[in-house]
């Protein structure tokens, strides 16, 4: 999410934080870094999956906790969630244009050490560690898939194409499964690629690859056989959007690359939670959302089905 839009977006967020969630910190390059963990109330007697949820630009860990709904899902499904905080509310996501990028902030190291700390404090299944996030957090998720494939089993960028100037730097050390969700009506992270944020360069600018090229990029990186399988999801909502799924299922080491394209959706985290479906200022600024797919549930179902090879 971009700073100009953060306040407008926040008015639509449901509150779902738990009293047992307490912000923690660690030191990276002599700089304190914070994150908000959520551990399910009734943890089973076995190692749990860990999902890292990266907030959008201009947001925070608490904002990501509220609007994604991952806490409730984690309590039902039995996994740990960690919401890290970026420096100045933006990630060094590979575009090279954010303030942390220009300041040399090592967010990849931060996430690696966050995972190590959570794993030390809780029983984490090392084969089921994942990352996801929207917008700036989605670009950062792409970068983590490139640089933390030795740790992550799968990554789920949402409303974020691949940072174009970072393509040649992406060389995953291990196979990793990828799930992506993008909207065709996204004016801030253009579906067909180009300048992020439009003429005003909201969200620190930089260039994004197109949704189609991003899909092909990851399919090539993961050794997938083309073409992908395609399927249209049922139009259950009748809200003016339609969802098509592209799935590469024949990739190296059993990983998969899946992309959901939402025709008619803007720069929104798709959700079936009623408070986020309201129209008004948020819709005017970010474009329409969809209720034909729920990003939180869809990303988790993919993660659940894709432990580390």
pLDDT the model gives residue 41: 82
pLDDT the model gives residue 199: 59
Alpha-carbon distance values, 183 to 122, 167, 180, 290 (Å): 36, 21, 10, 9
d(CA 61, CA 71): 12
Closest CA to 188 of 179, 178, 180, 198: 198
pLDDT the model gives residue 22: 82
The pTM assigned to this predicted structure is 0.91
Helix (H, G, I), strand (E, B) or coil at 88: helix
pLDDT the model gives residue 169: 96
Residues near 134 by beta carbon (within 8 Å), at least 6 away in sequence: 1, 55, 56, 158, 159, 160, 269, 295
> Is 2.60.120.260 the CATH number for 3-304?
no
pLDDT the model gives residue 42: 76
pLDDT the model gives residue 267: 95
Residues of the chain short of pLDDT 70, as ranges, are 1-20, 43, 198-203, 273-284
The number of helix segments (H) and strand segments (E) in the chain equals 9, 12
């Amino acid at each position: 999410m971009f700073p100009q839009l953060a306040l407008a977006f926040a008015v639509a967020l449901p509150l779902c934080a738990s009293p047992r969630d307490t912000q923690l910190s660690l030191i990276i390059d002599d700089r304190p870094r914070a994150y908000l963990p959520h551990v399910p109330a009734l943890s089973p007697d076995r190692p749990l999956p860990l999902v890292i949820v990266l907030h959008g630009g201009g947001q925070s860990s608490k904002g990501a906790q509220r609007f994604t709904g991952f806490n409730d899902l984690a309590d039902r499904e039995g996994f740990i969630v960690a919401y890290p905080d970026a420096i100045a509310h933006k990630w060094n996501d590979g575009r090279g244009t954010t303030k942390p990028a220009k300041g040399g902030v090592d967010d990849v190291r931060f996430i690696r050490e966050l995972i190590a700390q959570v794993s030390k404090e809780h029983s984490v299944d090392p084969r089921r560690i994942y990352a996801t996030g929207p917008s700036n957090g989605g670009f950062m998720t792409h970068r983590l898939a490139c640089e933390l494939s030795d740790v992550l089993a799968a990554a789920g960028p949402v409303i974020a194409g691949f940072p174009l100037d970072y393509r040649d730097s992406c060389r995953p050390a291990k196979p990793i499964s990828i799930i992506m969700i993008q909207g065709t009506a996204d004016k801030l992270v253009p579906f067909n690629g180009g300048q992020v944020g439009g003429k005003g360069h909201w969200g620190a600018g930089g260039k994004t690859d197109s949704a189609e090229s991003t899909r092909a990029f990851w399919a090539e990186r993961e050794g997938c056989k083309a073409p992908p399988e395609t399927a249209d999801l049922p139009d259950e909502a009748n809200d003016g959007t339609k969802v098509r799924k592209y799935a590469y299922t024949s990739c190296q080491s059993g990983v998969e690359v899946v992309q959901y394209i939402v025709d008619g959706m803007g720069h929104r985290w798709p959700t079936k939670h009623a408070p986020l479906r309201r129209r008004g200022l948020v819709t005017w600024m970010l474009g329409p959302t969809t209720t034909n797919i729920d990003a939180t549930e869809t990303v988790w179902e993919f993660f659940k089905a894709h432990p580390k090879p």
